[in-house]
Chain A
Amino acid sequence: MVRAVKGVMVECDPAVKQIIKDLDTQHHFIIEDLDETHLFIDASKIEMVQERLEEILEED
Chain B
Amino acid sequence: MKRNPHFARQLWAKRQRADKDPGAAAAAAAAAAARRALESHTRDEELDGAAPEGQEALREHAVVLPRHALRPAMDLAVFGDDDGGDDPLDTDTAWYGAAATQPISLSGMNADGGGGGGGGSAKSHEDAIADLFPQDYSRLELKPNAASRPIWVCHDGRIILEAFSPLVNQAQDFLITIAEPVTRPSRIHEYKLTAYSLYAAVSVGMTTDVILDVLERFSKVKVPDRVVNFIKECTLSYGKVKLVLNRNRYFIESSYPEILRILLNSPEILAARIIRTEEEEAALLEQAKKDKASADASKQQQTQPQHQQQQQQQKAVKSEDADAEFGAVITLDREDDDDDADAVAAAAASRGINGTSQVLDDESDFTQSFEINPQKVEEVKRKCTELDYPLMEEYDFRHDDINETLDIDLSPKTTIRDYQEKCLSKMFGGGASGGRARSGIIVLPTGAGKTLVGITAACTVKKSTLVLCTNALSVEQWSNEFRKWSTLQDHQIAKFTAESKQQFAGNSGVVISTYTMISHTGRRAYDTQKMLEFVNGHEWGLMILDEVHVVPANIFRRVLTTVAAHTKLGLTATLVREDDKIEDLNFLIGPKLYEANWMDLATRGHIAKVEATEIWCPMTGDFYQEYLKSNSGKRRLLCVMNPSKFMACEYLIRWREKQGDKIIVFSDNVFALMYYAMELKKPFIYGETPHEERSKLLNMFRNNHPQFRTIFLSKVGDTSLDLPEATCLIQISSQFGSRRQEAQRMGRILRAKRRNEAGFRSRFYTLVSKDTDEVVFSARRRKFLVDQGYEFKIVPSFEALVPEEERSALRFNTPADQARMLKLVKEQRDEVGLEETVRTSADDIEGAWMNQPPTAAKRGAAARRAAAAAAAVAAGLPAPQQPTRAAAVPPRRTHKLFKAWQRGK
Task: List residues of chain A with CB under 8 Å of any chain B CB.
Answer: 13-19, 21-22, 36, 57, 60
Contacts and interface: CB of A to CB of B under 8 A. Distances in A.
A36 B618 CA distance: 13
Given A19-B628, A21-B625, A22-B628, A14 B775 contact: no
A13 to B, nearest CB: 6
B624 interface: yes
Interface stretch (B437-445, B765-773, B879-887): B765-773
Given A14-B618, A14-B620, A15-B619, A57 B771 contact: yes
A58 to B, nearest CB: 10
8 cross-chain pairs, A with B, having the tightest CB-CB distances, nearest first: A14-B621, A18-B624, A15-B624, A15-B771, A18-B625, A18-B621, A15-B619, A14-B620
A60 B624 contact: no
B771 A17 contact: no
25 contacts: A13-B618, A14-B618, A14-B619, A14-B620, A14-B621, A14-B624, A15-B618, A15-B619, A15-B621, A15-B624, A15-B770, A15-B771, A17-B621, A18-B624, A18-B625, A19-B624, A19-B628, A22-B628, A36-B621, A57-B771, A60-B771, A60-B772, A60-B773, A60-B775, A60-B776
Most buried by B among A15, A21, A57: A15
Contacts of A36: 621
Nearest to B773: A60
B621 to A, nearest CB: 4
Contacts of B773: 60
Interface string B508-529: 0000000000000000000000
Most buried by B among A14, A16, A21, A22: A14
Nearest to B619: A15
Nearest to A57: B771
A57 B783 CA distance: 22
A57 B776 CA distance: 11
A46 to B, nearest CB: 20
Given A14-B621, A15-B621, A18-B621, 7 more contacts: A13-B618, A14-B618, A15-B618, A57-B771, A60-B771, A60-B772, A60-B775
Nearest to B86: A58
Contacts of A18: 621, 624-625, 628
A38 to B, nearest CB: 12
B623 to A, nearest CB: 8
Nearest to B626: A18
A13 B619 CA distance: 9
A2 B628 CA distance: 37
A17 B618 CA distance: 12
Nearest to B769: A15
Contacts of A21: 625
Interface in B544-572: none
A44 to B, nearest CB: 25
Contacts of B619: 14-15
A51 B628 CA distance: 18
A11 to B, nearest CB: 14
Contacts of A15: 618-619, 621, 624, 770-771
Contacts of B772: 60
A55 B252 CA distance: 58
Most buried by A among B620, B624, B628, B770: B624
Contacts of A60: 771-773, 775-776
Contacts of B624: 14-15, 18-19
Most buried by A among B619, B621, B628, B770: B621
A31 B532 CA distance: 74
A19 B621 CA distance: 9
A9 B625 CA distance: 21
Nearest to A19: B628
B771 to A, nearest CB: 4
Nearest to B620: A14
A21 B624 CA distance: 11
Contacts of B628: 18-19, 22
A19 B620 CA distance: 12
A54 B889 CA distance: 46
Nearest to B629: A22
Contacts of A19: 624, 628
Contacts of A22: 628
A15 B773 CA distance: 13
A17 B773 CA distance: 18
A16 B771 CA distance: 9
Contacts of B776: 60
A13 B136 CA distance: 45
A17 B628 CA distance: 12
A16 B618 CA distance: 10
Nearest to B774: A60
Interface in B298-350: none
B318 to A, nearest CB: 60
A37 to B, nearest CB: 9
A17 B624 CA distance: 9
A23 B327 CA distance: 74
B493 to A, nearest CB: 52
Contacts of B621: 14-15, 17-18, 36
Contacts of A57: 771
A50 B624 CA distance: 19
A15 B625 CA distance: 8
B903 to A, nearest CB: 45
Contacts of B625: 18, 21
B526 to A, nearest CB: 55
Contacts of A13: 618
B277 to A, nearest CB: 66
Nearest to B815: A36
Nearest to A21: B625
A13 B623 CA distance: 13
Interface in B573-632: 618-621, 624-625, 628
A21 B770 CA distance: 18
A19 B628 CA distance: 8
B325 to A, nearest CB: 65
Contacts of B771: 15-16, 57, 60
Nearest to B771: A15
B767 to A, nearest CB: 16
A18 B773 CA distance: 16
B638 to A, nearest CB: 12
Contacts of A17: 621
